[in-house]
């Protein structure tokens, strides 16, 4: 199963090919969605909940006790079309475009969006998310270029550390985004001293919210999933062992019907997310 995962920094270009196609060209025309499958896991709360109904895109959470062969869970996974997905910019080009709440009007005008459009609202949302104060025991950074993401991961994991990057991959393109998946093989734990998770945010070009919680243990797993319609997914999943400092309204607590700190919370990473780890010395 491990051969299906990108596992070395040297293969980063393969992992990020979908984002980098067209890099540095026609930045004004890049597509942006109002929503994003890259959930801000430590901050996501009521935005995925409408009364007693939980948005299916938030159904990526499960309990650690469910991480076993034969367990079936309803999970939302979708594979974005690379041709319409935002691309990563070079550091030089990203730095040439404003990225701050003080210049939102200028940014919206730069991309030629109407100030009342869904795209404008998505831009404002992402910038404000990136400017929020970090949670207790959280180090965070919004990467607007490949170089800045690499620099951030290295700064947290170690300048001289051997880095690996992982993501969720489909054996073939999925046909149904929300369906029942069954764990087909014993989950394989990725042994690492540290990890930096990078989640996509909605923006005209690729922006990743990258974060690390150095004082809280998280465990990373490779999980082979089989869907009820025959789809197969080599999923990347994380289990956060201490949720006592999470927001009481976090969507995972609503979905799993647990309280902060009462149980580890696990989740599957969407395919457009990246997780960097430092291998054991």
Mean pLDDT of the chain: 81
Output DSSP code: residue 132. Answer: S
Q: Which one is predicted more confidently, 143 or 54?
A: 143
The answer to whether residue 253 is domain-embedded is: yes
13 falls within a domain: no
Residue 274 clears pLDDT 70, i.e. is over it: yes
Beta carbons within 8 Å of 278's beta carbon, 6+ residues apart: 157, 158, 161, 162, 163, 192, 193, 194, 195
Q: What pLDDT does residue 215 have?
A: 82
The shares of helix, strand and coil residues in the chain, as percent rounded to the nearest 5, are 25, 25, 45
Strand blocks (E) in 16-138: 49-50, 53-54, 61-63, 72-76
> Minimum mean pLDDT among 78-92, 134-148, 219-233: which range?
78-92
- CA end-to-end span of the chain: 24
**Among the listed residues 154, 187, 205, 149, the one whose alpha carbon sits nearest the alpha carbon of residue 64:** 187
Pick from 141, 119, 75, 80: which is nearest to 273 by CA?
80
Percent of the chain residues past pLDDT 70, beyond the cut? 78
Please compute the mean of the pLDDT values over residues 216-238 and round it to a whole number. Answer: 94
Structural domain includes residue 42: no
pLDDT at 40: 38
Give the separation between CA 121 and CA 49, rounded to whole angstroms: 19
Residue 171, both tokens: 């054996």
Counting residues of the chain whose pLDDT is more than 90, the rounded percentage is 56
pLDDT digits (tens, 9 = 90+) for 52-83: 455 667 789 999 999 999 999 999 998 777 66
Per-residue pLDDT, 118: 94
Q: Strand (E) positions, 64-106?
A: 72-76
CA angle 160, 214, 149 (to 5 degrees): 55
Domain count within the chain? 1
| Residue 113, in any domain of the structure | no
160: number of CA atoms within 13 Å, CB side? Answer: 1
Residue 5: inside a domain, yes or no? no
Residue 271 in domain: yes
Query: What distance lies between CA 221 and its chain's CA centroid?
Result: 15
| Whether the Cβ atoms of residue 165 and residue 6 lie closer than 8 Å to each other | yes
**Considering the domain boundaries, does residue 149 fall inside one?**
yes
Q: What is the mean pLDDT of the segment spanning 226-249?
A: 92
**Token code pair at residue 94:** 């990203």
- pLDDT, tens only, 75-112: 999 877 766 778 889 999 999 999 999 999 999 999 99
Q: What range defines the domain where residue 272 resides?
A: 57-88+136-278
d(CA 251, CA 260): 11
For 147, list phi and psi in degrees, rounded to 5: -65, -40
């Amino acid at each position: 199963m491990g051969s299906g995962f990108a596992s070395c920094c040297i293969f980063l270009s393969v992992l990020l090919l979908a984002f980098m196609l067209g890099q540095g060209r026609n930045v004004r025309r890049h597509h942006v969605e109002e929503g994003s499958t890259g959930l801000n896991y430590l901050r996501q709360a009521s935005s995925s909940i409408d009364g007693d109904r939980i948005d299916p895109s938030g159904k990526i959470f499960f309990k650690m006790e469910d991480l076993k062969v034969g367990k079936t869970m309803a999970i939302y996974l979708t594979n974005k079309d690379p041709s319409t997905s935002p691309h990563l910019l070079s550091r030089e080009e990203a730095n040439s475009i404003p990225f701050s709440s003080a210049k939102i009007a200028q940014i919206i005008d730069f991309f030629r969006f109407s100030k009342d459009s869904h795209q404008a609202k998505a831009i404002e949302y992402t910038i404000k998310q990136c400017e929020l104060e970090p949670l207790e025991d959280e180090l965070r950074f919004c990467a607007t270029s490949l170089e800045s993401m690499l620099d951030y991961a290295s700064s947290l994991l170690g300048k001289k550390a051997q880095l690996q990057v992982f993501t969720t991959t489909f054996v073939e393109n999925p046909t149904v985004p929300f369906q029942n998946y069954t764990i087909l093989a014993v989950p394989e734990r990725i042994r690492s001293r540290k990890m930096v998770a990078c989640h996509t945010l909605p923006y005209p070009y690729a922006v990743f919210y990258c974060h690390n919680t150095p004082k809280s243990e998280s465990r990373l797993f490779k999980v082979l999933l089989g869907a009820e319609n025959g789809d197969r997914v080599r999923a990347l999943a994380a289990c956060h062992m201490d949720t006592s400092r999470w927001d009481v309204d976090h969507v995972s607590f609503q979905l799993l019907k647990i309280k902060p700190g009462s149980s580890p919370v696990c989740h599957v990473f969407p395919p457009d997310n990246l997780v960097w780890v430092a291998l054991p010395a």
